Amino acid sequence: MSWEDVLGAARLREGERAFLVRLLQLLCESRGLKAAALYSGSEECFERQVMWGSEAFPASIDGDDSGGYESLELPEGRLLFAPGEEDWKRPKGPIVLALASGLRAAVLRLQLKEQSFVVNYRGVELEALYEVGLAIASMLNLEQLGEEILLRAVSLLDARRGALYLRSGGRLVLDHTLGGDAMPELPLDDPQVAQVLGPGLGGEQHLLPGARHLMAVPVGAEPNSRGILVIADKESRHGVGPFPESDRRTLALFANQAATALETAYLHRQALEKERLEREIELAADIQRRLLPTAIPVAEGFELAGWSRPARHVGGDFYDLMRLKQGRVGAVLADVSGKGLPAALMVSTIHSSLRLLVDREGVGPGLVQHLNRHIAASTAPNKFITLLVVELDPSSNEVRYVNAGHNPGVVIGSDGNVRELASGGLPLGLFGESSYESGSLVLEPGDLLCLYSDGLTECESPSDEEFGLPRLVDLLRASSDRSLSEVIRDVDAAVTDFAQGLSQGDDQTLVLLRRTA
């Protein structure tokens, strides 16, 4: 190795390290040394930069320790060397000067590189914070969002571990964890949690079992925070340590951004859920509309009509008009407990069951007992159905009925008298073995039979007054010269006027049967 070779390395741009290695080689060959290593550092610790020869010089050495090798102090570090077998000389002269200059350049380059790294990573931090408010805010999948928030928080602050807890009722449930176990859930009144969520942020909590240095911040401002974000054990090349206070501010800023993103995702989920429910309700309402009779059975000497106005898209009222055997006609009005989809399903059940059984058994106690057993077995214990079913025999003008806990229907005679259809038993579905009895009456010319749901008579005005059965009966009494479709329009108009726009909580249903001759 010669000076020309060393300068040649510099000209060939082999790099700073190759240049220094060649210098070390030149030093060893010219001073009779076996090997040499160049360390950078201060008084406390030196780190090996380059070496030449077959000796296994340590990667780092303490200030007072030279690892058993000969040493020479340099302005920016230390030179270690192993003497040759014989006739060796201590390093000195221009080569040492060149090594010191090269080491100085290497140290400056390292410092520049470290500063450049810090500046660049600050860019990564800013990018992460910016993206939380942008990319994450547009992430609407809560599962992915929770993971993304935790990953970014952990990487942003060089944490070794982390966990994200989100509020669920009165507790915090573990959403995601990284790098180790975490408590599956935390009560909000836990003193450690209360300290994180409260004004006195800080303290070395132990929310992550086994963590040595922990930092936790609320996700969003109290009292409406979404949860807490916990990170632990700040990493460096030498192990883990505590987080500086500036990291807490960064994490808090990040957590606030995350809270906004979570809020957006929650609202999106709620909107989707609402949309899904509305689609289901619309579907159920469509099915229920199809259950309503599309044709009115014709019975000579009689007129029939039905009408229903659900309080929601899917109501709990149901009526049906049926042609039965031997020219008979059936009518039913039922009111299912509850509203919405569960009520619609029960309506569907009672509709199909009734249609299957009524033609075979006719209207009587047996039919209603069968229906009751079926409903009791197929619905929840707290669900029930009130039902009034009637069967008209046009040949005898006789009406047979069973009332299962429903408002008594009424028959308004041409003379104005009112008879009630009260015979029956308990609502369907309460007790599987309930027994029922039937009632009967004969319709005279002009008699009007009316089945109604309580949503009609209990319709409320803004002054908390109920429409009531007497008003309905008065309306019907005054309608003898009007067709049943006109009567229904009159009732509809009267109830609407009475409510004066007040939203009603229950369905309104009416079935009318009049003997015309």
Partner 1 sequence: MTEMLKVTVDRRHPMAVIYTEGYINNQGGEEIARVAYDLIDDDHKVLLLNLQGTKIVNSIGISILIEIIEKMLEIDGRLAFCNLTPTIEKTFHIMGLAQYAKIYPDEGVAIGELSG
For residue 257, state whether it binds partner 1 (rule: CB under 8 A): no
Give least dist CB 20 to partner 1, A: 12
Residue 152 near partner 1 by CB under 8 A: yes
> Near partner 1 by CB under 8 A, which window of 154-162, 250-258, 283-291, 302-310?
154-162
- Residues with Cβ within 8 Å of 161's Cβ and at least 6 positions away in sequence, in order, are 154, 177, 178, 179, 180, 208, 211, 231, 232, 233
Q: Which is nearer to partner 1, 249 or 489 (CB)?
A: 249
Q: Is 349 in the site for partner 1 (CB under 8 A)?
A: no
Alpha helices in 75-189 (DSSP H): 94-131, 142-156
Q: Which helix (H) or strand (E) holds 233?
A: strand 227-236
Stretch that binds partner 1, among 144-152, 202-210, 345-353, 413-421 (CB under 8 A): 144-152
* 223 Rama sector, left if φ>0, alpha if ψ -120 to 50, beta otherwise: alpha
CB within 8 Å of 107: residues ≥ 6 apart: 40, 76, 77
Facing residues of 441 across strands? 399
Q: Give the type of residue at 351.
A: H
Other CB atoms within a 10 A radius of the CB of residue 106 amount to 20
Please give the residues from 169 up to 188 whose contact with partner 1 meets the rule CB under 8 A: 176-180
Minimum CB separation of residue 236 from partner 1 in Å reads 7
Q: Is 325 in contact with 361 (CB distance < 8 Å)?
A: no
Instruction: State which of positions 222-251 bind partner 1 (CB under 8 A).
Output: 235-237, 239
- Radius of gyration of the chain from its Cα atoms, rounded to whole angstroms: 44
The region of 94-102, 148-156, 252-260, 307-315 touching partner 1 under the rule CB under 8 A is 148-156
* Closest CB to partner 1 among residues 160, 471: 160
- For residues 117 and 242, which CB has a smaller minimum distance to partner 1 in the complex? 117
* Total of residues contacting partner 1 (CB under 8 A): 29
Instruction: Decide: 313 and 347 in contact? Cβ < 8 Å.
Output: no
- Does 130 engage in binding with partner 1 (CB under 8 A)? no
Residue 151 near partner 1 by CB under 8 A: yes
The dihedral region occupied by 220, where left means phi > 0, alpha psi between -120 and 50, and beta the remainder, is left
Contacts of partner 1 in 59-118 (CB under 8 A): 116-117
* 56 near partner 1, judged by CB under 8 A: no
Per CB under 8 A, does 158 bind partner 1? yes
What is the smallest separation between the CB atom of 427 and partner 1, expressed in angstroms?
A: 53
Instruction: Answer yes or no whether residue 160 interacts with partner 1 by CB under 8 A.
Output: yes
How many CB atoms within 10 Å of residue 463? Answer: 7
Q: Does residue 131 touch partner 1 according to CB under 8 A?
A: yes
Identify the residue among 30, 71, 155, 348 touching partner 1 (CB under 8 A): 155
Among 17, 206, 269, 289, binds partner 1 (CB under 8 A): 17
Matching residue, tokens 């390290």: 17
**Nearer to partner 1 among residue 14 and residue 465 (C-beta):** 14
- Residues ≥6 apart with Cβ < 8 Å to 104: 75, 76
- Give the nearer residue to partner 1 in terms of CB position, either 159 or 448: 159
d(CA 512, CA 476): 10
Q: Strands, DSSP E only, in 245-338?
A: 302-309, 317-323, 329-336
Peptide bond into 191 cis (omega under 30): no
Does position 147 bind partner 1 by CB under 8 A? yes
Contact residues: partner 1, CB under 8 A: 15, 17-18, 116-117, 120-121, 123-124, 127, 131, 147, 151-152, 154-156, 158-160, 176-180, 235-237, 239
